Amino acid sequence: MSSLDGKVAVVTGGTRGIGHATAAALADAGATVVITGRDGETAAKRAAELGAKVSGVALDVTDSAAVKDVFKAVAKEHGRIDVLVASAGVLEGGLIGMLTDDHIGRTLTTNVAGSLACVQAAARVMMRKRSGAIVLLGSVVGERGNAGQTVYAASKAALSAVAKSAAKELGRHGIRVNAVAPGVIRTDLIAEQSEEVLAKVQADTALGRLGTPEEVAAVIRFLVSDEASFVTGQVLGIDGGLVL
């Protein structure tokens, strides 16, 4: 796979799960990586685990002013931003009859508005060099739906639409935008799921197992590399055959 030497990447939600695995994959490929998390100390510690070319900063993606400031600071320090992986998000279940305004607002604000704010901020920097690659973290739930996850599914479906529309708009500036739609991945986000539920998912998955963050990260690494230079506006499933 082609090197990412000389590239600067921002990975939101990079302190755990898929975001952290992605930061590691991009750093291994030679990129300079900035990971963000709500807690700056945690972000710095998690970045230190990945080597000298990775740094961590505090960022709440629901604060659009803070998003602008962080991306400006990264561009000022490194002179460019070549890659954005918008991984920050929340996963909260809830039956339709039990949904609250807070639940709906928190999910849509974080997953949709937060990701879109990062796309805006990254695109402004990328336009200067007329190149860049953006990957949004969708979900298989956004493609097929799931009982008890209506708001989460809506937020992830929205990100698929953002990827497609942004790809059409930003392509003339040399910026590619794609999304990935992972299936059930072994991260702490599924820690509350019962073994019975996870066993059913595995049974419904063609490969008969759950995925790993590293498997998702490998696909994201490809999408932001020059090897995917003619790939944009796609929502790529990484679900082991859960959706067929």
Catalytic residue numbers, as ranges? 152
Our CA dihedral for 66, 69, 73, 79, rounded to 10 degrees, sits at 120
CB atoms within 10 A of CB 154: 17
Question: Which tokens is 236 given?
Answer: 């790529």
Taking the CA atoms of 133, 58, 71 and 54 in sequence, report the sign of the dihedral they define: negative
Nearest Cα residue to 9 out of 133, 187, 127, 152: 133
Taking the CA of residue 199 as centre, how many other CA atoms within 13 Å lie in the half-sphere pointing to its CB?
Answer: 3
Nearest Cα residue to 54 out of 68, 36, 76: 36
Pinpoint the alpha helices (H) of 150-194: 150-170
